């Protein structure tokens, strides 16, 4: 049994041994923001926040979040409205296929939580572990800078 907070709500999930956090989130809790990309912690598509820190969920054991707080993309919504960072991505058209976007937004949110006014260089460094094959990186940087404000 894994007991933790997911997007502000207490949850208890009974998962088999060796279940990854990504598997638990998507298969047991219907959280579809984090995506399975490489399965090797190299692309960042599965990034979520655990106690405010970005974590790749594809190789994180589900039991590692026991007693902790996990946030996915849906935690950033403002009710039924996109949150500030999500809206900046929309405004800058910072996604093409969008597969990697959830992971990028979660890592960007962690940066903005720690540094509300980052430089472009700091944004680039923070997002270095997230890969986008579509080539929308320039728009992503603009979106994060817009959200920082």
Q: In the listed set 44, 75, 106, which residue is the last one of a domain according to the structure?
A: 75
Domain count for the chain: 2
127 by DSSP, 3-state: which?
A: coil
Among 18, 41, 75, the domain-final residue is 75
- Report the Cα 86 to chain-centroid distance in Å: 11
Q: What is the CATH number of the domain that holds 42?
A: 3.10.20.30
pLDDT by residue, tens only, the chain of 149 residues:
999 999 999 999 999 999 999 999 999 999 999 999 999 988 999 999 999 999 999 999 999 999 999 999 999 988 889 999 999 999 999 988 889 999 999 999 999 999 999 999 999 999 999 988 888 889 999 999 999 98
Question: Do residues 106 and 49 lie in contact, with contact meaning Cβ atoms separated by under 8 Å?
Answer: yes
Place of tokens 């959830």: 102
Do 81 and 107 belong to one domain?
A: yes
What 3-state DSSP class applies to 144?
helix
Region label for 76, one of left (φ > 0), alpha (ψ between -120 and 50) or beta (otherwise)? alpha
Full residue range of the structural domain in which residue 82 is found: 76-148
Same domain, 39 and 13: yes
**How far is it, in rounded angstroms, from Cα 46 to Cα 38?**
9
What's the pTM value of the predicted model, to 2 decimals? 0.93
């Amino acid at each position: 049994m894994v007991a933790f907070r997911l997007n502000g709500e207490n949850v208890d999930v009974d998962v088999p041994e060796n279940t990854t956090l990504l598997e638990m989130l998507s298969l047991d809790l219907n959280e579809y923001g984090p995506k399975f990309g490489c399965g090797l912690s190299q692309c960042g598509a599965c990034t979520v926040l655990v106690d405010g820190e970005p974590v790749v969920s594809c190789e994180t054991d589900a039991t590692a979040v026991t007693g902790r707080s996990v946030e996915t993309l849906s935690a950033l919504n403002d009710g039924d409205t996109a949150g500030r960072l999500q809206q900046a991505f929309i405004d800058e058209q910072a996604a093409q296929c969008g597969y990697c976007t959830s992971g990028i937004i979660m890592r960007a949110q962690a940066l903005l939580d720690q540094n509300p006014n980052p430089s472009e260089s700091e944004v680039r460094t923070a997002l270095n572990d997230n890969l986008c094959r579509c080539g929308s990186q320039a728009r992503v940087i603009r979106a994060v800078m817009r959200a920082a404000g």
